[in-house]
Amino acid sequence: MIQQLIVQSLYIGTEYYLFRPIGNNQYKEVPFKIVKNAIYEYPNAKLSQGEKNYILNTIL
């Protein structure tokens, strides 16, 4: 369950963080960038398909 991204508008080339719930009211920061209306993932910080869909459908 993705709770929310703490961003209001996303800009191309800027790094953002998705806060992934990991239990006990704790979150893991998962970095990503927006590249021409797409998401660039870092090799050591993969987003799930649900997280990608959330970013693309809700924020962009």
In the prediction, which pLDDT does 37 show?
63
pTM: 0.48
Tens digit of each residue's pLDDT (9 = 90 or more) over 14-59: 777 788 888 888 888 888 887 766 677 888 888 888 888 888 777 6
At 5, the pLDDT band (50, 70, 90 cuts) reads very low
When divided into structural domains, the chain yields a total of 1
| Residue 20, domain extent | 15-59
Asked, for residue 43, whether it belongs to a domain, the answer is yes
Q: In sequence order, what are the beta bridge partners of 30?
A: 18
Q: How far apart are CA 40 and CA 23, in angstroms?
A: 26
Tens digit of pLDDT for each residue in 23-33? 888 888 888 88
The string over 10-40, giving b where at least 16 C-beta atoms fall within 10 Å of a residue's C-beta and e elsewhere, is beeeeebebebeeeeeeeeebebbbeeeebe
pLDDT at 29: 86
2 part of a folded domain = no
Residue type at 40?
A: Y
Query: Is there a domain that residue 31 lies in?
Result: yes
